[in-house]
Amino acid sequence: MAQKPNQPEETLDPSDWAEVRAIAHRMIDDSVDQLSQLRNRPAWQPMPNAVRESFQSAVPTGPTALADVYHEMQQNLMPYPMGNTHPRFWGWYMGAGNFTGALGEFLGAINGSNLGGGNTAAAELDRQVVSWLKDMMGFPKSASGTLTSGGSMANAIGLNVARNVMAGVDVRLEGVTALPQPLRYYASDQAHSCHQKALEMLGLGSRALRLVPSDAYFCMDTKALERMIAEDRAQGLRPACAIATVGTTNTGAIDDINEIAKICRRENLWFHVDGCIGALIKIAPKSHRLVDGIQHADSLALDPHKWLHAPFEAGCALVRDAKQHFATFNLHGDYLEEKPRGVAAGEYLFDYGYELSRGFKALKIWMSLKEQGSEKFGRLIDQNIAQGDYLMQLIKANPKLELMAPTKINIVCFRYCGNGGNEEKLKTLNTEIMLRIQEAGTAVPTDTTLRGKYCLRAAINNHRTQCQDLDLLVAETIRIGDELQAAI
């Protein structure tokens, strides 16, 4: 006779669903208040020490009522976010999120499916989102793709397929020490750091990434690319892959996609496009020509958490040849055999990337795309590009400001010069301007250094930004700059 354990059985479900329902309703109400009142909040604010210290408390071994847990979050967490949902946040390169996407995160968790695969509607929806992204990018139906945590992971997937295809040996079996020739990848000196990390992870080493000089527009010098490929061949290395950046992080520069594609075809290189910033320009009715040619990439990384404003995280890798993609990642344990029927029927999704268990990232993208339509997202991309142009004009029109890079899309690099000064002085001055603007909660620009010149940078990847917000940024930059200069 089987003996049932004599402990009473426990569960994580609440004992009083009605109470939890009421708290959950309040959470939604507070969320709507928060988003609808964003303009009246600081773009960012520092947290008091007491708040920071509250995160040092030890593991809670006993229970706390959900209402109290939520109260603590309202006190210590919610007032101190990064600020990228705010209309005047232009730091690094983020998306601004959206309410429907946030509901998608929640409902995805309620659905609870593991998107490693399975015979579920969730898996079909995941495939549909990838297929929509393929269509939006002009990729053929036969291409494959996978949603990832972000662009770094999406790029790593593309560079991994490239390595396996170009290795000249079964690199999954033999490993990189068996490569007949060291592989070389090429990207402009403006390329994102994630490519180096990916090559380190792939065992090829950072030396495998050759940085091609960029021209006056911060685009890859394609003549230099051709020279470097020839040099490397002459030295017995194997040129394997060129990475075109479509929208660089520093300045938004767009490499000459078609020229790089041509070189790849002629030289027999894998053609990867890092489109984390710019690939989605493809759906913008006014600007789409800027990225014509990305549809010819062998692999493409894009970032729905940037210009589709999916709440973090959501990236996507697309690969033209689905077989090569599958051959790079497919691997099943004994416990993961596919079946003709039942819950394990259909193709697993984990065969297209590193991760086995996967979250339901697709739902937040699916819901916002359905609700708004891709045309709206395209118009919002054009809107940000027009705002970038507007900010550039404001800067050019003001003799106290200096435009630091050509503005092609929505990233504007500039600095206050007032009555001038050496590089070091200008850096100190502009850093202080930036920090004061951030600390006042006015706006969040960040900074960068372009060819040794320090500058402020506004990446207007934000569906809430209006031109008046950019007027304020310029006015405050000049006001604070003038004040600081007068004090010296």
Ligand X SMILES: *Cc1c(COP(=O)(O)O)cnc(C)c1O
Question: Under the rule (CB under 6 A), what is the footprint of ligand X?
Answer: 93, 150-152, 155, 192, 194, 245, 249, 274, 276-277, 303, 315
The least distance separating ligand X from the CB of residue 194, rounded to whole angstroms, comes to 5
Complete DSSP assignment for 244-293? EEBS-TTT--B--HHHHHHHHHHHT-EEEEE-TTTGGGGG-TTTGGGGTT
d(CA 236, CA 341): 51
The least distance separating ligand X from the CB of residue 154, rounded to whole angstroms, comes to 7
Instruction: Say which amino acid occupies 456.
Output: L
The least distance separating ligand X from the CB of residue 159, rounded to whole angstroms, comes to 12
Nearer of residues 194 and 392 to ligand X, judged by Cβ = 194
Nearer of residues 113 and 461 to ligand X, judged by Cβ = 461
Q: What residues form DSSP beta bridges with 401?
A: 416
Is 104:365 a contact under the CB 8 Å cutoff? yes
d(CA 460, CA 411): 6
The least distance separating ligand X from the CB of residue 405, rounded to whole angstroms, comes to 15
Is 20:14 a contact under the CB 8 Å cutoff? yes
**DSSP designation for 122:** H
The least distance separating ligand X from the CB of residue 267, rounded to whole angstroms, comes to 23
The least distance separating ligand X from the CB of residue 257, rounded to whole angstroms, comes to 14
Nearer of residues 92 and 132 to ligand X, judged by Cβ = 92
Nearer of residues 154 and 433 to ligand X, judged by Cβ = 154
Structure tokens at 267: 């030289």
Q: What residues form DSSP beta bridges with 316?
A: 147, 302
Nearer of residues 88 and 192 to ligand X, judged by Cβ = 192
Nearer of residues 155 and 287 to ligand X, judged by Cβ = 155
Using Cβ positions, the residue closest to ligand X within the complex turns out to be 151
d(CA 471, CA 359): 40
The least distance separating ligand X from the CB of residue 357, rounded to whole angstroms, comes to 19
Nearer of residues 315 and 481 to ligand X, judged by Cβ = 315
Is 445:404 a contact under the CB 8 Å cutoff? no
Q: What residues form DSSP beta bridges with 182?
A: none
Is 54:69 a contact under the CB 8 Å cutoff? no
